[in-house]
Structure 1
Amino acid sequence: MKYVWLGMVSLLMSACSSIPKHSPAHLVGQVETGKASYYAMKYQFRTTASGERYSHFDDTAAHKTLPFGTLVRVTNLANGESVVVKINDRGPFIKGRIIDLSRSAFSEIADLDVGIIDVKMQVITD
């Protein structure tokens, strides 16, 4: 009986924590333009809305509506540099911003000192 219970708990936990490995097909190609910012240092290791721990070193991001696990290419409109990030959190919650990037992802396309940049965000496949 003990092993049956443990098996059920394990199955339930794995089902709850799974994040799709591919972007939903109907969203692929969707484009959005607006402002991007990055997470403050105080969020390091906090739990994101998807249940993952936030890390400044992972190429992840927050978006208000895209499903968790969706991959998006974010392009800095000022210099053409781009980065691919995985959506694993909700936000940003500041008017005019469309995406919050991890510090690592932001630093790949802009200087952290800039803080906020104009971007084009496109849903892609991996």
Structure 2
Amino acid sequence: MKKIALFIILILSAFSFAQKKSAPNEKTEKLTLYKTHAHASYYNDKFNGKRTASGRKFNNSKFTAAHKKFPFGTKLKITNEKNNKSVIVEVIDRGPYSKRREIDLTKKAFIKIASNKGSGSLKVKIEVLTN
């Protein structure tokens, strides 16, 4: 009976280790600078539930973004240059469709890094996460 219990504990701990190892970790991933002083804004709530260019449904309470060039699924670290707060987002949509804006963030991602919660845009640093 002790051997069976020990075996189960061993399997569960191995499974737990495998899950932790496979989870994305910013410290083990490489950051490549893409752009500084980029203009970021956020999506309006009216887009909630609508399909993005990637086919996924948009949700303003997730950590996703729209960019004109990055492939869908690309992970980006977005840092507010004013307060140095950052967030990791996944590109799931195309846009923004304004020449002066570089990236659109979900409202949740934007608010997490914003100094002034009432502002509509930020100057950010964009870095690409790669393995």
Gaps of 5+ in 2: 1-23, 25-30
Query: What is residue 102 of structure 2 aligned with on the other side?
Result: 98
Distance in 2 between residues matched to 1:94 and 1:41, nearest whole Å: 18
TM-score, reference length from structure 1: 0.75
Query: What is residue 128 of structure 2 aligned with on the other side?
Result: 123
Residues 61-116 of structure 1, C-alpha deviations (whole Å, 9 max, x = no match): 00001000000000000100000000000001112111000011001101441010
1:42 has 2:69 as partner: no
Among 41, 48, 65, which residue is 2:69 paired with? 65
Gaps of 5+ in 1: 1-20, 22-27
Query: What is residue 113 of structure 1 aligned with on the other side?
Result: 118
Percent of paired sites with the same residue: 43
Query: What is residue 32 of structure 1 aligned with on the other side?
Result: 35
Distance in 2 between residues matched to 1:37 and 1:50, nearest whole Å: 20
Distance in 2 between residues matched to 1:91 and 1:43, nearest whole Å: 13
Q: Which runs of 4+ in 1 moved over 2 A?
A: none
Tell me, what secondary structure is at the counterpart of 2:96?
coil
TM-score, reference length from structure 2: 0.72
Which of the two has higher C-alpha Rg?
2
Distance in 2 between residues matched to 1:91 and 1:113, nearest whole Å: 22
Query: What is residue 12 of structure 1 aligned with on the other side?
Result: none
Distance in 2 between residues matched to 1:96 and 1:120, nearest whole Å: 15
Give the number of equivalent residue pairs: 101
Tell me, what secondary structure is at the counterpart of 1:72?
strand
Query: What is residue 86 of structure 2 aligned with on the other side?
Result: 82
Query: What is residue 56 of structure 2 aligned with on the other side?
Result: 52
